[in-house]
Amino acid sequence: MKYRIGLISGDGIGPEIISGARKVLDKTASVYGHEFEYKELLLGGASIDKTGEPITPETIEGAKASDAVLMGSIGGDARTSHWYRLEPSKRPEAGLLGIRKALGLFANLRPAVLYDELSGACPLKAELIEGGFDIMIMRELTGGLYFGERKTTVENGLRTAVDTLTYNENEIRRIAVKAFEIAGKRRGRVCSVDKANVLDSSRLWRAVVEEVAKDYPGTELTHMLVDNCAMQLVRDPRQFDVILTENMFGDILSDEASMITGSIGMLASASLNDTSFGLYEPSHGSAPDIAGQDKANPIATILSAAMLLRFSLDLQKEADAVENAVLKVLKDGYRTADIMSEGLKCTGTQEMASLISERIG
């Protein structure tokens, strides 16, 4: 079949990892008899440099006309890049927040999986991670502090800034429903994370999640305060199946979860709305320090492409094939520099992508 895939290369290592992932998608298409038609879309710094804006209507339209979008990474070094001399609403990150909002991508899935082959890179003690762990962080992505009103003023000579954390019950309900649906296909446990001992928005969150849980009697719901969750992730990560949480908490907890898997270079993500459309991107940033050097790990982007095949195109065996090819390459002893250990074979970005492609089909 023919599918339309939008490609946002973006900034920093983005173009390299996208070209690696494209290699893998092309191989998948040829083995399974599909046709992928790509459309390059501008976002972030790359868009600022070409159009003066971090996001344009062309990019939003191009994304909407695609079955799914695969993205590299957005942003640069805030200390040195000219993009950060612009006002905040014109910087690269505004493009990322803009596309999430414009496409209604409220559900952000961030799997944190510990691969056996990489358990040596996990900073936790061996007895805490024996048997591995497989956590799905479900982060609400279009509400909360990220999209509430904000302003900076001077009041009585004092510089004052305010950000607001707003959620309505519909915003909470739809992400909770997704979390229960996904938990039902996994180990059937949702841990909802909030700060209900302090915040009104969290008390509403907890109440709505409890209501949704009634429709999923086969799934267990627990609640955890966010500070405790940050601690439990490093104390006993195996206790978690699905973690459901609001935007800002999810931003922070997903970085923490990525660290305990050994390398953020391995973690994929999907941002979904209530259609089959999704935006897929690695959980890591644009790593401007190693951009253009063929050093970046393309695996997170390749695994994001696998999520794209699975969730947006409903190509399950193709997605399995990509994930298995990644496992095989790791078993065969190939590593990029970020996950390298003694006695294994160190490869660059493009070679890693080729090695994975060769193992499909």
Tokens 């954390």 label which residue?
A: 165
Q: Which does 323 bind (CB under 5 to 8 A by kind): Mg ion, ligand IPM, none?
A: none
Whichever of 145 and 327 has its CB closer to ligand IPM, that residue is 145
Whichever of 178 and 359 has its CB closer to ligand IPM, that residue is 178
Supply the DSSP string of 14-69, one letter for each residue: HHHHHHHHHHHHHHHHHHHT-EEEEEE---THHHHHHHSSSS-HHHHHHHHTSSEE
Q: Which does 93 bind (CB under 5 to 8 A by kind): ligand IPM, Mg ion, none?
A: ligand IPM
User: What is the C-alpha to C-alpha distance for residues 296 and 287, in angstroms, rounded to an integer?
Assistant: 8
DSSP state, 116? G
Closest-by-Cβ residue to ligand IPM is: 93
In the set 3, 146, 216, 280, the catalytic residue is 146
Sheet strands (E) in 74-199: 107-113, 134-140, 150-155, 158-163, 189-194
Has 195 been annotated as catalytic? yes
Closest-by-Cβ residue to Mg ion is: 251
Site for ligand IPM contains 96 (CB under 6 A) = yes
- The set of residues, in sequence order, having a beta carbon less than 8 Å from that of 245 and lying 6+ positions away, is 137, 138, 139, 140, 192, 193, 194, 226, 229, 253
Query: By rule CB under 6 A, what count of residues binds ligand IPM?
Result: 4
User: What is the C-alpha to C-alpha distance for residues 14 and 295, in angstroms, rounded to an integer?
Assistant: 12
Site for ligand IPM contains 251 (CB under 6 A) = yes
Q: How far is CA 295 from the centre of its chain?
A: 21
Whichever of 12 and 348 has its CB closer to ligand IPM, that residue is 12
Site for ligand IPM contains 93 (CB under 6 A) = yes
Closest separation between CB of residue 251 and Mg ion, Å? Answer: 4
Site for ligand IPM contains 171 (CB under 6 A) = no
Has 67 been annotated as catalytic? no
Whichever of 117 and 251 has its CB closer to ligand IPM, that residue is 251
Beta bridge partners of 345: 334
Q: Using CB under 6 A as the criterion, what x/- string covers residues 68-87 for binding ligand IPM?
A: -------x------------
Closest separation between CB of residue 293 and ligand IPM, Å? Answer: 22
